[in-house]
């Protein structure tokens, strides 16, 4: 399997001088084409910061992030557009949508950006409306969701729209950062099933950040464990769950009785 996204000796420091803090410390991690890689570790271990470096929301102080052979960290010009092939979905979709735009307008913006990135002709409004209906259907939302405002949707529906917006970009990689943590338990499963199904159908790779090891076991092919900014262990999910190599991983697993 080829590597889609590579974190190559990435370190990320917040702040400067004596108040600086190294949130990620020399992490090398490879996301293979078509796989779901879980990223686990206690709160503050640097999981989100690492992922954010792949979409330009954090800048590596050392090392680089590489997408299909091309560096996308420190991106300029064409690589900024290329970086949109990595899409991040956040815990709280409420804050990621422009509150003054309808869902249809937000999805349209994502579609237009994807066509611009690929250098393909931007389809006429009618054809884009059809694409938006298809996207909504793909995430099991009714077509009239396009006319609604973000605040008119439930948390689960908003997260489905966030997934639709991510796939509108025809991503090579999706970074899912605690995407069900803010949802009611009753809807968490359906959003996860949806994402897993889309991942299989569309073939993107996914970095799946979660506190919830039970969910990680269900969703992920491999799992990586971070502690205090460093990577402590990475392996096949079942191997890591059943034969953890590191004491810290053992502690994480022991904290989840259902495992």
- Contact flags string 42-81 toward ligand ATP, x per CB under 6 A: -xxxxxxx--------------------------------
Kind of pairing between the strands at 21-32 and 173-177: unpaired
Q: Where are the alpha helices (DSSP H) in the chain?
A: 47-52, 78-82, 103-118, 125-138, 155-168, 185-202, 213-219, 237-242, 247-254
User: 91 vs 106, which CB is nearer to ligand ATP?
Assistant: 91
Asked if 22 interacts with ligand ATP (CB under 6 A), we say no
Closest distance of CB 234 from ligand ATP, Å: 16
User: 52 vs 167, which CB is nearer to ligand ATP?
Assistant: 52
- Contact flags string 29-48 toward ligand ATP, x per CB under 6 A: ------------x-xxxxxx
Closest distance of CB 57 from ligand ATP, Å: 9
Closest distance of CB 2 from ligand ATP, Å: 27
Q: How many residues bind ligand ATP (CB under 6 A)?
A: 11
Contact 244, 259 (CB under 8 A): no
Contact 191, 166 (CB under 8 A): no
Tokens in use for 17? 């001088």
Closest distance of CB 43 from ligand ATP, Å: 3
Helix H or strand E encompassing 144: none
Asked if 21 interacts with ligand ATP (CB under 6 A), we say yes
User: 7 vs 145, which CB is nearer to ligand ATP?
Assistant: 7
Q: Is 242 helix (H, G, I), strand (E, B) or coil?
A: helix
Closest distance of CB 252 from ligand ATP, Å: 12
Q: Angle, nearest 10°, between helix axes 185-202 and 155-168?
A: 10
Closest distance of CB 205 from ligand ATP, Å: 19
d(CA 163, CA 56): 19
Q: Residue 130's closest CA among 141, 118, 149, 146? A: 146
Q: Which positions touch ligand ATP (CB under 6 A)? A: 14, 21, 23, 41, 43-49
């Amino acid at each position: 399997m080829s590597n889609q996204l590579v974190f190559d000796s990435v370190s990320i420091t917040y702040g400067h001088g004596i108040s600086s803090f190294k949130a990620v410390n020399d992490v090398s991690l490879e996301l293979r084409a078509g796989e779901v890689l879980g990223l686990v570790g206690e709160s503050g271990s640097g999981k989100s910061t690492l992922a954010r470096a792949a979409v330009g929301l954090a800048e590596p102080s050392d090392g680089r992030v590489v997408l299909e052979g091309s560096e996308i960290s420190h991106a300029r010009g064409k690589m900024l557009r290329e970086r949109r092939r990595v899409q991040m979905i956040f815990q709280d979709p409420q804050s990621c949508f422009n509150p003054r735009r309808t869902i249809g307008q937000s999805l349209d913006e994502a579609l237009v950006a994807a066509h611009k990135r690929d250098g393909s002709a931007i389809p006429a409004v009618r054809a884009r409306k059809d694409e938006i209906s298809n996207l909504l259907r793909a995430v099991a939302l009714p077509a009239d969701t396009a006319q609604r405002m973000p605040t008119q949707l439930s948390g689960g529906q908003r997260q489905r729209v966030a997934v639709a917006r991510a796939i509108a970009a025809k991503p090579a990689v999706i970074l899912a950062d605690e995407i069900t943590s803010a949802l009611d338990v009753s809807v968490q499963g359906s959003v996860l099933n949806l994402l897993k199904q889309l991942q299989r159908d569309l073939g993107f790779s996914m970095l799946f950040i979660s506190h919830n090891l039970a969910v990680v076991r269900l969703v992920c092919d491999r799992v990586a464990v971070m502690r205090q900014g460093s990577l402590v262990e990475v392996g096949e999910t079942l191997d890591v769950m059943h034969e953890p190599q590191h004491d810290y991983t053992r502690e994480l697993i022991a904290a989840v009785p259902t495992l």
